[in-house]
Structure 1
Amino acid sequence: MPRITPVNAATANPDVAATLGAIKAKVGMIPNLHATFANAPAALKGYLGFSEALTSGVLTAKQREIVSLAVGQANQCQYCLSAHTLIGKGAGLSPDAIRAARQGTGIDAADAAVAALAVRLIETRGQVNDADLAEARSAGLDDAAIIEVVANVALNVLTNFTNNVAATDIDFPVVELTIAN
């Protein structure tokens, strides 16, 4: 049972209802995370804007999902792991790539570097060292990609923490926190 009640689009104020309606039109449903964010319309709009902006960056959709999976695992967010396992499949990640991301690695050097940097950012609260950046660069990440990994980590920390605080009901196929072999 959620600790923060999701907003019902049918009874929401007109601005929030319109935002939730646009989400439903775009993705076919209103995910419980979005309905939970709707308790704070500024947070919902900020999340949506930041998320949308990052889709036009240098990281691929697969790499953004790798960050989401790596960070979701590091922060033990079952909602996000469930959502991003499904979204990651839709973005073209194989089951092996999903498992690797959750383990903080990847199936090729660039994806491994993205996942490792994301996990390292969580572990160090952003206080990565020169060796961490050298490792990312040696795998082909340039400064733009590094900054986008940071931005995607920040976005995922927002969703992970919101779901962990709210105990958001999972409305995706449930993925266990323990990584299957």
Structure 2
Amino acid sequence: MARIQPLALEAADPTTATTLQAVKTKIGMVPNLFATLARAPAALNGYLALADALSKGQLNARQREIVALTVAQANQCQYCLSAHTLIGKGAGLSEDAIRDARAGKSSNPQDHAIAVLASKLVKQQGNLSQADLNTAHAAGIDDGLVLEVVVNVAFNVLTNYTNHVAETDIDFPVVQMAL
């Protein structure tokens, strides 16, 4: 059972209820993570605004899912791992690509560089060496894309940490942490 209970749509203030209803209309459900964030409407609105902004960046949906899976595995967030496994399949990731992303790698050179960068950002707490940046640059990741990966990692750390604190009940097909 969750330590922080998701906010029921009918218990939300009118503005938050409208936001949650828009989520439900868009994706067909209100995931427990969103309903949990709704306990702090500023957190929910910030999350949704950042998600929208990142969807318009250089990383495509598949690459954003690679980052999400890499970060969820590194942070041991079963909720996010379960959610992004399903979302990743919808974004075109195969079972092998999902497994690779969880391990911080990919068979595609650019996707591999993105996964490695995301993994290093988590494991090194954002402290990249010049060699790390040089490796990313050599793989075609320019400074703008480096920064976009940083923000995508931070975005996923936000949800990982929220789920750790809240012990959010998983409302996606459950994926085990072990690879």
Same fold (TM over 0.5): yes
In 1, the alpha carbon distance for the partners of 2:174 and 2:78 equals 8
In 2, the alpha carbon distance for the partners of 1:114 and 1:171 equals 28
Q: Percent identity?
A: 60
Aligned residues: 179
TM-score of the superposed pair, with normalisation by structure 1: 0.98
Residues 52-84 of structure 1: per-residue CA shift (max 9 Å, x gap)? 100000011111000000000000000000000
Moved more, 104-113 or 23-32: 104-113
In 2, the alpha carbon distance for the partners of 1:8 and 1:83 equals 20
* Secondary structure of the structure 2 residue equivalent to 1:42: helix
Structure 1 runs (4+) deviating above 2 angstroms are none
TM-score of the superposed pair, with normalisation by structure 2: 0.99
* Secondary structure of the structure 1 residue equivalent to 2:9: coil
Give 1:115's aligned residue: 115
In 1, the alpha carbon distance for the partners of 2:37 and 2:137 equals 35
Give 2:47's aligned residue: 47
Residue 165 of structure 1: how far off its partner (Å): 0.7
Give 2:132's aligned residue: 132
* Residue identity matched to 1:173: P
In 1, the alpha carbon distance for the partners of 2:7 and 2:148 equals 31
In 2, the alpha carbon distance for the partners of 1:55 and 1:103 equals 23
Counterparts of 1:50-69 in structure 2, within 5 Å, are 50-69=50-69
Residue 123 of structure 1: how far off its partner (Å): 1.0
* Secondary structure of the structure 2 residue equivalent to 1:164: helix
Counterparts of 1:1-181 in structure 2, within 5 Å, are 1-179=1-179
Residues 147-175 of structure 1: per-residue CA shift (max 9 Å, x gap)? 11000000000000000110100000000
Residue 10 of structure 1: how far off its partner (Å): 1.1
In 1, the alpha carbon distance for the partners of 2:94 and 2:15 equals 38
Structure 2, unaligned runs of 5 or more: none
* Secondary structure of the structure 1 residue equivalent to 2:10: coil
Residue 140 of structure 1: how far off its partner (Å): 1.1
* Secondary structure of the structure 2 residue equivalent to 1:10: helix
CA RMSD of aligned residues (A): 0.6
In 2, the alpha carbon distance for the partners of 1:177 and 1:80 equals 10
In 2, the alpha carbon distance for the partners of 1:135 and 1:145 equals 13
In 1, the alpha carbon distance for the partners of 2:158 and 2:14 equals 25
In 1, the alpha carbon distance for the partners of 2:135 and 2:96 equals 22
In 2, the alpha carbon distance for the partners of 1:91 and 1:38 equals 26
